[in-house]
Amino acid sequence: MTLPPGLGRELSAILGKDGFFDDPIHRRVYDSDAYPHEHLAPAAVALPRTVEQVQEVVRACRRHDVSFTPRGAGTGLSGGALPLDGGLQIGLARMHRILDIDPFERVARVEAGVVNLDLKKAAARHGLTFAPDPSSESACTLGGNFAGNSGGPHCLKYGVMLPHVLGAKIVTPEGELLELGGRWDPGEGLDLLALLVGSEGTGGIVVELTLRLVPLEPARSTFLAVFETIDDAASAVSRLVARGIVPAALELVDRVMMQAVEEAYGFGFPVDAGAVLLIEIDGPEAAMPVEAQRIEEICRKKGCREFRTARSDTERAQLWKARKHAFGAVGRLSPNYATQDGVVPRAEIPRICEFIYETARRHGVTVGVVLHAGDGNLHPALFYDERDEESVEAAMKASGEIIGACIELGGSPTGEHGVGLEKREFLPLIYGPTEMAAQADIRDALDPTGRCNPGKVLPGEGGEGDRLRVVGRQVSA
């Protein structure tokens, strides 16, 4: 797709020479996000610096009937930021100012392009932090976190993005400025803010956010509990939660992933164990020993063969590295991998893991599993080699079956990565025709123009963009 001739000129005038690009190189740079299976180049790229510019750009698109797709850092894993209709990519990366931090009220006002970790660093100077911590926190933007209702390892205790959002300014698909919530607790009223959090960039362009900060906890302890089997680890997870223990993080890493990490970093982790739990607690100093003791007791009762406590910040960092860099470590074992994001009820963790291994075996695919165990949110990594079509096919088939199984077990196809482009065909598996119609109603209410991030979330064809390479999507249908 190319832009109508007049639009390019208008956008250049609004954004200046360094804010608008329609050359092949820029289009190529923006043709992908972290969803590995699809490359779609936008017709052009707009990089506004102000709210007014965003409004003007959107209004210009409206006048010329051109679609547009918001983009933060492009770390999304479901193709949400890819412009399915070609159209204009509106990147928020240049709107990255932290406008205000009020330590007394514990509130931060930021532009949407601020990187998650940058806000954490700024808040830390006041003894505060921003709780949502996607593993991509060093790159992903707060606007992207809003659009995806993103979570992270520590959202078990602190909640995902939504409870941390107090207010938002959004440029609607019509180019109006929508202000929701505010600086203080939003209080009662129609909760459009909650409806827009997680709407995957289909309700307009988030330009500014007012976010809640929380105090950095005075104390923190991190443990590694080693289990012979995944079942034992999973049953320890259920027991911990049932006993009222809500760790800050409760992550499960399986044997394959441990082996990958060990091969990459050589931390001395047990490579013969079925699974390990990475458990972190935080809170008042006085609670630490009691809670640590209870956690160890429960883990031991459930068959934990070794319970390590991080004795220093370095040890703690190593344990977290094992978890956060698990996917990076996979790169040493396989040229490519597909990761999934299904959710199951906590009690079904053993069954879904069994299913994952069995399915992978059946398709001849190697799989390693990392799980936000406290939430039942799993990220299996299915290894493949993109140069070998058969291996791609096998990994994609297994991946689709795993999502199907999550749904059958009473779960969801996505816990944090969103539907985007990738999981559109799965929506009708969890919603009946009436709910699908209601989904479309909400989409139309948020964007009656149909121009904002078109083709996402709802199943359908769409896509006149320059599809440079397509692998796998047809398999997930």
Partner 1 sequence: MSGSRMNRDLLRRLSAALGAETVAWVEGDGTPSSLRVEAPDREGFHVAAAILLEKLAPWRPVGLAKAEPGRCAVSTVAFDGILDFWPRDLVARIGAGARLGDLQALLAEQGLRVPVTSLRPGEHTLGGLFASGERGWRGGPNHRLRESVLGLTVIDGGGRVLKGGGRVMKNVAGWDLVHLHHGAGGALGVITDLTIKLEARPQAASAFALPVGVEEVATLLDSTRLPAAAAEPVVQLWLDETAAARAGFEGGGLLVVAAEGWREAVDHWASALPQGAVAVDPAELLRRACEGAFWSGRLHLGPSAVLDVWPSWSRKWKLVEPSLVLDLQTGHARVLLHREAPLRNAALIELAKAGRAVGGRLYAETEEVAIAGDAAPPDGPSSSEDPAWAIARRLKVAFDPGNLLPPLPRPVGGWR
Instruction: Please list every residue from 158 through 217 that binds ligand FAD, using CB under 6 A.
Output: 200-201, 205-206
- The binder of partner 1 chosen from 93, 96, 182, 404 (CB under 8 A): 182
Binding mask 95-114 for partner 1 (x = CB under 8 A): ---------xx-x-------
Contact, 334 vs 263, CB < 8 A?
A: no
Tell me the closest approach of the beta carbon of residue 429 to ligand FAD, in angstroms.
21
> Which of 23, 52, 65, 285 is in the footprint of partner 1 by CB under 8 A?
285
Q: Return the residue of 27, 39, 71, 473 that touches ligand FAD, per CB under 6 A.
A: 71
Q: Decide: is 439 part of the binding site for partner 1 (CB under 8 A).
A: yes
Q: What DSSP element (H or E) covers 52?
A: helix 51-64
**Residue 51 interacts with partner 1 (CB under 8 A): yes or no:** no
Contact 457, 113 (CB under 8 A): no
Please say whether the beta carbons of 168 and 99 come within 8 A. no
- In angstroms, what is the minimal distance from the CB of 331 to ligand FAD? 11
- Count of residues that bind ligand FAD according to CB under 6 A: 36
Least distance (Å) between residue 152 CB and partner 1: 11
Handedness of CA 395, 397, 402, 403 (dihedral sign): positive
Residue corresponding to tokens 């990594």:
381
Does residue 235 belong to the site contacting ligand FAD (CB under 6 A)? no
Is residue 115 a contact partner of residue 139, using CB atoms and an 8 Å limit? yes
CA 362 vs CA 126, 330, 332, 337: distances in Å: 53, 21, 23, 17
Lay out the site mask for partner 1 across 378-417 (x = CB under 8 A, - = otherwise). --------------------------------xxxxxxxx
> Is there binding between residue 164 and partner 1 (CB under 8 A)?
yes
Helix (H, G, I), strand (E, B) or coil at 164: helix
Distance of CA 390 to the CA centre of its chain: 28
CA angle, residues 334, 144, 125, in degrees to nearest 5: 100
Tell me whether residue 93 or residue 430 sits nearer to partner 1 (CB atom): 430
88-91/44-46 β-pairing: parallel
Residues 137-156 interacting with ligand FAD (rule: CB under 6 A): 140-141, 143-145, 147-148, 150-152
Reading the block at residue 29, the tokens are 């740079």
Interaction between residue 70 and ligand FAD (CB under 6 A): yes
Q: Which does 435 bind (CB under 5 to 8 A by kind): ligand FAD, partner 1, none?
A: partner 1
Residues 328-367 that bind partner 1 (CB under 8 A): 343-347
Which uninterrupted H or E stretch holds 179? strand 177-181
**Which C-beta is closer to partner 1: that of 80 or that of 86?**
80
3-class DSSP state of 245: coil
For ligand FAD, the closer of residues 35 and 223 by Cβ is: 35
